[in-house]
Structure 1
Amino acid sequence: MADNKGIPQELIDRINELSKKKKEEGLTSEELAEQKELRETYLSLFRENFRSHIEMLQVYDKNGKEVTPEKVKKIQRERGLRDD
């Protein structure tokens, strides 16, 4: 099961479980290594998802003129999301 951000809920639950255990009684070296790996996985998924959202954005000024940065437009063209 994944939450609405594309990050598996099981991953979040395990990170929280280890965090709570660390505060209450401490972690073994294996659990510390697992915690580090889980956090790296979480950040990787978060960054990937965030990048995908940014690349899908179109920005308009108050007059309705598109002012999407050219870098984002280029990525959108490469992915077939724009035809201009």
Structure 2
Amino acid sequence: MATGWAGDGAVQDQIDATIKDAIERARSQLPQGPGLVHCEECGKKIPEARRKAVPGVRLCVDCQQAHDEDQSAHSGYNRRGSKDSQLR
């Protein structure tokens, strides 16, 4: 049950849109094309098990971890689904 000017299901629509955006962002970050034998950043050999597990892999585990940490530091806070944005 919605209150105020929001229509019925408005909160669920926000949740669904937030999840959809997160899925699209994650899919866009998946490796594309053929995988590499050596890391494109440091040149270290990428283990065969990793190449089989992650099709299109381009980075070794260490470089991928550093890349992921850098991405999480630069990712914005999604205000659309936050309680604060609904109060303003």
TM-score tier, shorter chain, comes to 0.3 to 0.5
Q: Which has more helix, going by share of residues?
A: 1
Normalising by structure 1, we get a TM-score of 0.37
Q: Which has the higher contact order (CA 8 A, sep 6+)?
A: 2
TM-score (norm 2): 0.36
